[in-house]
A and B are shown apart, each in its own frame.
Chain A
Amino acid sequence: MSEKPTTKQPDNGHELLAAELSLGVLEGQALSDALARKETDRAFAAEVEAWSLRLAPLAEALTEHAPPARLKQRIEAHVFGEEARTSTSEPARLWTSLSFWRAATALFAATTVVAGVISLVGGPAPEPERAPAVFAALQADPAAASVLIRFDPETRQLTLAGPLTGEDSTPVQPELWVIPPGGAPQSLGLIAQVEGVVTADLSVDPDLAKAIQAGATLAISLEPPGGSPTGAPTGPVVAAGGVRSL
């Protein structure tokens, strides 16, 4: 990260606002403003978190209340299922079909139909007033099919899918990186690979979300199981592409 975390103490008003946001008492415009500020002001976001941690012992002091036993299975299916595929709905199955990705990449090669590809893979077109989504097509080589990525800066949801074949003999973990212009790669997370197709549906942290914009590069490297041990890519980069605004 090129920007150093600020050591400046927020003034009293900001600190109070952070405390109020953490506590959950804000509403209406004040709440929207504070939430927006948390997304863009790192010192403020850190102060909100500091307050949450400060008061957390109150929550921890509550007497345990076991959730229904069957909930665990549902939660695990939800959490792990999300890793393996974006969802179980019909359009999502397309995501995991290799032939679909070959076809989509062929379409993608003709830049005039890019918008068509994106609306196909990205669901309904974004409403006009929303922040524009960005996307990237990551290719191993010009002839290969692309891994397509769509990112919505407003919800910070990143969806990714496409073909990616690695050596099947060694267990590898594809990991997605964002590389700001002139900056160091930062991990966006691990992505699932099943039968030569990678998919991910990631919720990107606010700090990293700012890095995903036109001019940045997205890349996938193959890391040891569990992901890069160092926080920087250690394995071969198998696909990379530039980010464009839609």
Chain B
Amino acid sequence: MDDTQVSALIKRVSLADRAAFSELYDLTSGKLFAIVLRILKDTAEAQDALQDCYANLWQRAKSYDETRARPGAWLSMIARNAAIDRLRRRRPAGSLDAVEEPVDDAPSPEASALQSDDARRVRVCLEELSQAEATLLTRAYYGGESYSEVAEALSKPLGTVKSVIRRSLMKMRRCLER
């Protein structure tokens, strides 16, 4: 994804340009669908979340500020938030045991090769965490799992999960600020 091109498309979308929306969808839907599918683990629900995501994008494009966020990061944030919102709505009625497939938490090597500078920094910081910290943080991040869901899935005490994830977040913050 070319940042300049995507930024320009977001700007045109903010002016209600439908052709730009269509082009932006073609360029970004593969990435954003991967994000929502990873969190929701259900194709039908992921499609609904992708719809929420692009509806939000259409509404919020005018609030995008390229000096504060790369377009890819901003779009990924909207997609992940759309999926997490759906997950939260599902949780009260549903259960914690949805799909317990083994999740490969590391992105594939070919994806890693394409990363931007700040993506590389995040990977570096992730590698500085202990194994346990990195495992819990990426599990929560990629699965959209809550503290108790992570604890249950890994048969660890809730208090331990909380303190490990909190510690990993603060370490990430410090590392990324360096």
Please list the residues of chain A having a beta carbon within 8 angstroms of any beta carbon in chain B.
15-16, 19-20, 23-27, 31, 49, 52-68, 71-72, 74-76, 78-80, 82-83, 187, 189-190, 202-203, 205, 226-227
Judging by beta carbons under 8 Å apart, are A57 and B73 in contact?
yes
A–B pairs, 7, beta carbons within 8 Å? A20-B165, A23-B141, A56-B69, A56-B73, A57-B119, A205-B63, A226-B16
Interchain CB contact under 8 A, B34 and A62 = yes
In the complex where A54-B176, A63-B107, A65-B34 touch, is A27 in contact with B58 (Cβ < 8 A)? no
Q: A67-B29, A75-B25 are in contact. Are A62 and B80 (CB under 8 A)?
A: no
- Whether the pair A59, B146 counts as a contact (CB closer than 8 A) is no
Beyond the given A16-B170, A58-B142, please list 5 additional residue pairs across the A-B interface where CB-CB is below 8 A.
Answer: A24-B146, A52-B77, A53-B77, A59-B141, A67-B47
B88 within 8 A of A: yes
Which residue of A15, A23, A64 is within 8 Å of B30 (Cβ)? A64
One of A26, A59, A71, A80 near B76 (C-beta < 8 A): A59
B112 at the binding interface (Cβ < 8 Å): yes
Residues of B within 8 A of A187 (CB): 62
Residues of B within 8 A of A31 (CB): 88, 146
The answer to whether A61 touches B115 (Cβ under 8 A) is yes
| CB of B5 closer than 8 Å to a CB of A | no
Contact with A along B109-130 (1 / 0, CB 8 A): 0111001101101110010000
Closest chain A residue to B16, Cβ basis: A190
Name the distance in Å between A177's Cβ and chain B's nearest Cβ.
14
Identify B119's interface contact among A20, A49, A60, CB under 8 A.
A60
Q: CB-nearest residue of chain A relative to B110? A: A63
Determine if B169 and A20 form an interchain contact, defined as CB atoms under 8 angstroms apart.
Answer: yes
B31 CB within 8 Å of chain A: yes
A56 touches B77 (CB 8 A): yes
Query: Given the complex of chains A and B, what is the CA–CA distance between A31 and B91 in angstroms?
Result: 12
Report whether over half of chain A's contact residues are helix, strand or loop; otherwise say mixed: helix
Complexed CA–CA distance, A10 and B23 (Å): 39
- Chain B residues, Cβ within 8 Å of A71: 29, 47, 50-51
Complex CA distance for A24 and B95, rounded to whole angstroms: 16
Judged by a CB distance under 8 angstroms, whether B40 is at the interface is no
Contacts of B47 in A (CB 8 A): 67-68, 71, 74
A9, chain B: closest CB distance, angstroms: 12
Looking at the assembled complex, report how far the CB atom of B131 sits from the nearest CB atom of chain A, in whole angstroms: 17
Contacts of B51 in A (CB 8 A): 71, 74-75, 78-79
Question: Does A24 lie within 8 Å of B72, measured CB to CB?
Answer: no
Q: Which of B7-34 contact A (CB under 8 A)?
A: 15-18, 21-22, 25-26, 29-31, 33-34
Set of chain A residues within 8 Å of B88, measured between Cβ atoms: 31
CB < 8 Å neighbour of B72 from A56, A65, A189, A205: A56
- In the complex, what residues of A have CB within 8 A of residue B76's CB? 56, 59-60
User: In the complex the two chains form, what is the Cα distance from A205 to B64 in whole Å?
Assistant: 13
| A65 CB contact (under 8 Å) in B18, B33, B62 | B33
User: Is B122 a contact partner of A58 (Cβ separation < 8 A)?
Assistant: yes
Are B63's CB and A61's CB within 8 A?
no
Pick from A16, A49, A58, A203: contact of B59, CB under 8 Å: A203
What's the nearest-Cβ distance from chain B to residue A213, in Å?
A: 21
Q: Which of B50, B141, B173 contacts A75 (CB 8 A)?
A: B50
Residues of chain B in range 60-81 having any CB-CB distance to chain A below 8 Å: 60, 62-63, 68-69, 72-74, 76-77, 79-81
Query: In the assembly, what is the distance between CA of A15 and CA of B73, in Å?
Result: 20
Check B145 against A25 for contact (C-beta < 8 Å). yes
Question: Is B155 engaged at the interface, CB distance under 8 Å to the other chain?
Answer: no
Shortest CB-to-CB span from A62 to chain B, Å, is 4
Asked whether, in the complex, the Cβ of A67 is within 8 Å of the Cβ of B30, the reply is: yes
